Amino acid sequence: MKHVLIGTALAATAVTGATAQEVTLGRFFGACEDAGTDTTASVGEACIIQSIINAADAELDGITVTTLPTDWGNYYDQVIAAYAGGEPPDVHVMHRHRVPQFAGLGALAELSGDLEAAGIDVSDWAPAALDAVSFEGGIYGVPMDFHANLWHVNMEIMEAAGLVAEDGSPILPSSPEELLEHAAMVEAATGHDYLAADFAQFPIGVRLVLSLMWQQGENIFTEDGTATIDTEAARNAVTTITQLFDAGHADPQLNYADSQQAFLNGEAAVLVNGTWVVDFYSAEAANPDVALSDYYVADFPTLFAEGATWADSHMWAIPASLKRDDPETYAAALQVLAFINAHNIDWARTGHMAVRNSVLASEAYAALPHRDEYTGTASIARDTPAAENYGAIQDVLNRELQAIWLTGKPVGDALSDAELEVQDLLDG
Amino acid sequence: MNRGYYWLITALSIPAFLWLIPTLWMISLSFQPNEVLARTTSTTAFGLVPIPFTAENYAALFSFGQTPMWFLNSAIVALGMTLGVLAVSTTAGYALARLEFPFKRAILVLCLVGLMVPEQAVFIPLYTMFADLGWHNSYHALILPRMAVPIGVFLMMQFFKSIPKDIEEAARIDGVGWLQIFWHIMLPLARPAMMTLAILTFLYAWNDYLWPLVSAREPERFTITLGLASIQSNFAQSEGLGRVMASGVIASLPVVILFLMFQRHVVRAMTAGGTKG
Amino acid sequence: MAKGRHRARGLTEGQAAAVLLLPFLAVYAAFLVYPFLNGVWISLHDWNLLAVAFNPDAREFIGAENYIRTLWGRNIEWGLFASPVMQTGGVLGIGLAFFGYRSGRLTRATALALGIAGALFFLMPGFHPGEGGRWYDRRFWPTVGNTITFVALAVPGVTLTALILAAALDGETRAKAVLRTVFFLSQVLSVTVVTLIWQIMFSPRQGLIANVAQALGGSPIVWLTDQQLAMAAIVITTIWWSLGIAMILFLAGIQDISKDIYEAAAIDNARGIRAFWYITLPNLKRTITLVVVLQIILHFQVFGQAHLMTQGGPNDSTQVLVRYIYQTAFRDSELGKASAMAVVLFLIMGAFSLVQFILGREGDER
C-alpha cells in the first residue's frame, strides 16, 4: 500500500527516479498484452519476454517492474534521448554491437563486482556470451541470447528438386556456383524461387553479404579502422547474391513481411532470416491452412573457405547513474537481471540460442523444436565488427547494397561509395 | 438542380470513392484474422470485405488494461492543448490585428520566423530543458511546447482583421476598455474561427507523436497514439497485420467522430467574419 | 499606476496589447525562441549528445566547423556546365526578372526576388568537387535536392487538387457536404496510421494496388523500392493525407467572394469553368499565397512518410532533410552537426517562403 501511495504521489507530481523499489524497464521486441506470468507457455519474442518480466514483477519480493512501452523503430533514439535527458530506464535491453557506443561514454554501469551477490553466476556464461558483454575489461550487461542468420527451408520444395540427403536434411550449396545450380534445379522442378530474404528494408541483405565476406576471411574494416569494402571479397559476396536475381531465382524487391509471406506461401525454397522466427514458423507449418508444411532449419551454408554467419546478442544493461546515485534501485535492478538470467531457457524457446552453459547442455534445450537442426550455428556465428557508430555504418551498407539490387547501381561504384562513407564514419 | 450539378456530383463520386478505399481497406483488414492476413490480404473482394470475419483484434486491444487510460490521457492532453492554444492565440491574434503598439512589426516578423523553425531544430534543447526542470512525464510537458506554435495566432489575426472596425469604434466611444471589447464583443464574434482553430489543434494534438515518444516515459502518461504504436512490434506487419490495423482504427475513431460532429464549423468558421461586412 | 485616471477606459492601447500578447509571447519565447537559439549555439560546438550528457565539458567550441563539414568540401570548384539544366533555368530566371522589370510587368521587389532566385540557381549547382576533391558530407546536398523535389511535387499537387475540389464542392447541398467530408476525412489520421495504410497499399505482394493490378492481368508495380516511384508514392500518400486543410482554406476563401460577382458574371454567360478561371482564381490570390506558404513550410519538414514508409531509400532517393537531421542527432549522437543542418533547413525554408510571399504580394497589388 505504501508503495502505491508513494507511486501515486510521485506520478502526480511528475517526479521520477527515486521510487524505492520500482524498476523501470525499457525493451524492444514489441508488446504483449496478455502474456501472463507463465514463462513456459508464451509464444513469440514479445510474449515470452513479457511473461518473464511479469513473473519477475510477481515473484520478486518488494520489487515492481514497470515496462516502458517503446517503439521498435526508434528504440535506440529513444534510449539515447532518455540518457541525454538524465532519465534512462533502470534496466534496458540492447544489442551487443551497441556496447562500444554506450559503455565507451560511461553510460553503462560496470557490473562485475555485483553480479555474484545478485545470484548471477558469470562462470556459467558461454565464453562468447561473456565476451559479448565485456568492454575494456569490465562487464557491462547480462547476456540473454545469441541470435544469428539461419536458412529456413521448405523441405517439400527441396524434395521436388531432388535436394534432400538420405538422412532427411536438405542438400545445401557449398559454393556460389552450386548455389546457382540448386536454384536452377528448384526453378525447373517447381517454378519457384530458390531464395527469399528481406533485401529491401531491414539490413538482412547486409548481414548476408557480411557472412559471405567473412567466409572468405575478409571483413568490412580492419582493427585499425581502415574500411575494406571495395575489395574482391566484397564483389564475390555481392555477385553470389546478384547472380540469383539476374537469373530470376530470387526477388530483391521483397521486404521483411513480403519475403516471409512468400516463404510461408510455399513460393520459395529457402528464407534467410534470424533465429527469432523459428518458433513462429514451426507453429505456422503445423497449421493446415499454411502452404509451408515441411519446415526445416539449417545452419547458414559455407559457400567459400570457412563457415560464418552473422550474429549478435541481446543483453540487459543498467545505467551508470543508477549504480552511482540510487543503490537501492540498483540492487533491485540487479535482481530483475538475475531473474531474467535464470529464465534463459524460456527465452531460448523463441529460437534464439541460450547463453548459459548449464542451459546449453540441458535436455530441455535440446528438445526445443528444430534445435538439433542448427547446432552448428554456434560455432560459425560471427559478430558484427565493434564500432562506436555501427548503426550508421550498417545504414551505409544497406543503402549501397540496395542501390545495387534495386536500382541497378554498378557494383564497383556502390562498393567504392560505401568504402568512402564508412571510412568517413570510422574517422569520425 | 440542373443536369450539370448531377453530372458534377457523379463525376466527383468516383475519386471520392477511390479516396475512401485506403480507409475502408484498413477497417476491413482490422476485422480479419491475423493468420489469414499473414498469407494473403486479398481473400474476399481484394480484402475490402472482411470475410473471414473476426472481432478478435479489437477484443485483444481492449483486453489490454491500459487502453482506456491512454484514451483519457489523449483527451486530457488534446483538450489542454486546445484550450491553451485558443487562449494565447485569440489574445495575441486580436492584439496584432487591431491594436497599435510599439514593436508590432517586429513581433509579427518574429512570429512568422517561428513558423519556419523545424520541430527537430528545437527538439533536443527542449528535451534537455524539460529534463533539467524535471518536467517530463507530465501533462504539462506534453502540452506546453505545442502552445508555442504561431500558426494559431496567424489564423486568429487574419480573422480579427476581417471584422469591420465600426463595432469596435462604437464601443470605444462609449468608453469601453480594450480588454472588455475583446472579451465581450470580439470573442463572441470569433466563435466560429475559434472552433476551426480548436478542431485543427485537437487533431494535431491527438496525432502528435515524436514529442510524446520521448517525453512521456511512464505508461501512465502515454497518449493513445503512442500507446498503440508501442504495442506494434518490429515486424508487426508480418505477424499481426489485423491487430495493427485495428489499433489504427481505434486511435483514429475519436477524431473522426469529433470531426463528423463539428465539420460544419470547420468550413463556416473562417468565412463568418468576412460575410458579416 | 494610471489606473484611477483611466478608469473609464481601462488600460491604454499599448497596455492592453501588452496584457493580451504576454501569454503567447511568454510560451513562445520559452518553448520556441529560446530552444531554437540554444540549438544555434549548439551548432557551433562539437557536441556529442551522449558524451555531453555524462560530461558537460565534453563539448568543444568549433565555430562554423559544423557548417563547413555539412555544406562544403575539399577542392570544390565552380563550373559553368556542372549542372546545365538547373543553371539554364537560373539564367532564364534572371532574364525574366530583368525584362519583366524593364517592361513594367513586375514590381521591383518581385523582379529582385526572381533575379536573386535565378542567380542562386545559376551559381549553386555550379559547385562540384574538382580533381581529387569531394564534399565533406556526400549526402547533404542530394538530401536537400530530394527535399526540394518532394516540396516541388507535393505543394502544387496538394494546392491544385484542393483548389479544384474546393471550387467544385462549394455549396450547401447534402451531396457536396458528404463529398467534402470524404476528402477531408483522411486528414484526421495520424502519420503512423497513414503510413501504415499506404505502406501496405503499395506492397507488391500484400498491397491492394498490386492485387487489383494482378486481377486485371497486369504485373504488380513495385512502388516503394523503385528509385523513381518511391518518391511518387510518398507524394501520393502526402496528397491523400494533407489535402483537407488546404481544401478548407480554399472553401473559406471562395465563400468570402461576394455572390454578386458570380451573379453578374452569370449574366455574361460566365459559369462553371469560365467563372472559376475569371472570378474565383483572381479573387483567391491571397488565399493561394497563404496555402502555398503554409504548404512549403509544412512539406519542407516532411519526416514521417520517408522515415516510416521507405526509410529514406532506395539508394537515398527519399532521404529528406528532417530525417537526416533526426538520424544525425539520435542515431549518430552528433548534435552539433544536426543543429547546423537544422539551421540550414530553417534558412532554406525562409528563403522559399520569402520568395513566395513577394510573388504573392505582386498579385495583390495589381
State the complex-level ipTM: 0.85
pLDDT-derived band at A272, boundaries 50, 70, 90: very high
Please indicate whether residue C362 or residue A111 has the higher confidence score (pLDDT): A111
Question: Which region among A162-171, A263-272, C310-319 has the lowest average model confidence (pLDDT)?
Answer: C310-319
B69 touches chain A (CB under 8 A): no
Interface of C with B in 63-122 (CB under 8 A): none
Q: Tell me what the mean pLDDT of segment C192-211 comes to.
A: 86
pLDDT for B64: 65
CB pairs under 8 A between A and B: 114
Upper half-sphere CA count for residue C279 (Cβ side, 13 Å): 23
Q: How many other C-beta atoms are found inside a 10 Å radius of the C-beta of residue A289? A: 10
Dig out the grid coordinates for C184 from the structure. Answer: 477531408
Same domain? A205 vs A235: yes
Question: Across the interface, do A46 and B135 touch by the CB < 8 Å criterion?
Answer: no
* 3-state DSSP of C142-199: HHHHHHHHHHHHHHHHHHHHHHHHHHHHCCCCHHHHHHHHHHHHHHHCCHHHHHHHHH
pLDDT for C350: 85
Interface of B with C in 111-140 (CB under 8 A): 111, 113-126, 129
C361 pLDDT more than 70: no
pLDDT-derived band at C8, boundaries 50, 70, 90: very low
Mutate to test the interface with C, among A70, A72, A78, A80 (most CBs of C within 10 A): A80
Same domain? B149 vs B270: yes
**Residue of C49, C315, C327 with shortest CB distance to A406:** C315
Identify whether A381 is part of a domain. Answer: no
Question: Which region among A89-98, B79-88, C118-127 has the lowest average model confidence (pLDDT)?
Answer: C118-127
A21 touches chain C (CB under 8 A): no
Identify whether A380 is part of a domain. Answer: no
A416 touches chain C (CB under 8 A): no
Q: Tell me what the mean pLDDT of segment B26-51 comes to.
A: 83
* A85: closest chain C residue by CA: C53
- What span, in angstroms and rounded, lies between the C-alpha atoms of C205 and C200? 9
pLDDT for B134: 83
Same domain? A307 vs A317: no
Same domain? A23 vs A134: yes
Residues 6 or more apart from A28 whose CB is under 8 A from it? A70, A72, A75, A93, B234
* C271: closest chain B residue by CA: B4
DSSP label at B120?
A: H
Mutate to test the interface with A, among B214, B232, B243, B245 (most CBs of A within 10 A): B214
Q: Tell me what the mean pLDDT of segment B248-267 comes to.
A: 79
C81 pLDDT more than 80: no
Cβ-Cβ contacts under 8 Å, A389 against chain C: 332
Q: What are phi and psi of A252, to 5 degrees?
A: -70, -10
A203 pLDDT more than 70: yes
Same domain? B31 vs B159: no
Same domain? B3 vs B93: no
Residue with cell 438542380: B1
Condensed to tens digits (0 to 9), the pLDDT of residues C142-160 reads: 999 999 999 999 999 999 9
**Residue of B231, B237, B241 with shortest CB distance to A33:** B231
Condensed to tens digits (0 to 9), the pLDDT of residues C325-352 reads: 988 988 888 889 999 999 999 998 888 8
Identify whether B113 is part of a domain. Answer: yes
Identify whether A191 is part of a domain. Answer: yes
B189 touches chain C (CB under 8 A): no
Cβ-Cβ contacts under 8 Å, A72 against chain B: 232-234
Q: Using alpha carbons, list the distances in angstroms from residue B145 to A84, B119, B126, B135, B194.
A: 19, 10, 8, 12, 20
Same domain? B4 vs B141: no
Q: How many other C-beta atoms are found inside a 10 Å radius of the C-beta of residue C290? A: 21
pLDDT for A192: 95
Question: Across the interface, do C55 and A106 touch by the CB < 8 Å criterion?
Answer: yes
Cα-only R_g, chain A:
22
Q: Tell me what the mean pLDDT of segment A192-201 comes to.
A: 92
Number of domains in chain B: 2
Please indicate whether residue C207 or residue B232 has the higher confidence score (pLDDT): C207
**Residue of C252, C304, C350 with shortest CB distance to B270:** C252
C173 pLDDT more than 90: no
B204 pLDDT more than 60: yes
Question: Across the interface, do C205 and A200 touch by the CB < 8 Å criterion?
Answer: no
Cβ-Cβ contacts under 8 Å, A258 against chain C: 203-206
The CATH number linked to B268 is 1.10.3720.10
**Residue of C51, C222, C313 with shortest CB distance to A402:** C313
Out of A161-175, A282-296, B262-276, C288-302, the most confident range is A161-175
Question: Which region among A231-240, A310-319, B24-33, C86-95 has the lowest average model confidence (pLDDT)?
Answer: C86-95
Q: Identify the domain containing residue B25 by its residue range.
A: 1-54
B100-107 contact pairs (CB < 8 A, 24+): B100/C13, B100/C14, B100/C17, B101/C13, B101/C14, B101/C17, B101/C18, B102/C14, B104/C17, B107/C21, B107/C25
Residue with cell 510524446: B212
Question: Across the interface, do C192 and B225 touch by the CB < 8 Å criterion?
Answer: yes
Same domain? A264 vs A116: no
Cβ-Cβ contacts under 8 Å, C168 against chain B: 8, 12
Identify whether A214 is part of a domain. Answer: yes
* 3-state DSSP of chain A: CHHHHHHHHHHHHCCCCCCCCEEEEECCCCCCCCCCCCCCCCCCHHHHHHHHHHHHHHHCCCCEEEEECCCHHHHHHHHHHHHHCCCCCCEEEEEHHHHHHHHHCCCECCCCCCCCCCCCCHHHECHHHHHHHEECCEECCEECCEEEEEEEEEHHHHHHCCCECCCCCECCCCCHHHHHHHHHHHHHHHCCEEEECCCCCCCHHHHHHHHHHHCCCCCCECCCCCECCCCHHHHHHHHHHHHHHHCCCCCCCCCHHHHHHHHHCCCEEEEEEEHHHHHHHHHHHHCCCCCCCCEEEECCCCCCCCCCEEEECEEEECEHHHHHHCHHHHHHHHHHHHHHHHCHHHHHCCCCECCEHHHHCCHHHHCCCCHHHHCCHHHHEEECCCCCCHHHHHHHHHHHHHHHHHHCCCHHHHHHHHHHHHHHHHHC
A215 pLDDT more than 50: yes
Same domain? B249 vs B163: yes
pLDDT for B267: 57
User: Percent of chain A scored above 70 by pLDDT?
Assistant: 95
Condensed to tens digits (0 to 9), the pLDDT of residues A155-185 reads: 999 999 999 999 999 999 999 999 999 999 9
Same domain? B90 vs B205: yes
pLDDT for A214: 95
Mutate to test the interface with A, among B233, B245, B247 (most CBs of A within 10 A): B233
Same domain? A396 vs A335: no
B14 pLDDT more than 50: yes
Identify whether A225 is part of a domain. Answer: yes
Identify whether A65 is part of a domain. Answer: yes
pLDDT for B236: 46
B87 pLDDT more than 70: yes
Question: Across the interface, do B122 and C36 touch by the CB < 8 Å criterion?
Answer: yes
Identify whether A317 is part of a domain. Answer: yes
Cα-only R_g, chain B:
23
For the entire predicted model, the pTM comes to 0.88
Q: Buried (b) or exposed (e) across C298-324, using 16+ Cβ within 10 A?
A: bbbbbbbbbbbbbbbbbbbbbbbbbbb
A18 pLDDT more than 50: no
Q: What are phi and psi of A217, to 5 degrees?
A: 75, 20
Question: Across the interface, do A402 and C222 touch by the CB < 8 Å criterion?
Answer: no
A69 touches chain B (CB under 8 A): yes
Question: Across the interface, do B137 and A14 touch by the CB < 8 Å criterion?
Answer: yes
Distance between A195 CA and the closest CA of chain C, angstroms: 16
The CATH number linked to A240 is 3.40.190.10
Q: Identify the domain containing residue A114 by its residue range.
A: 2-8+18-146+313-372
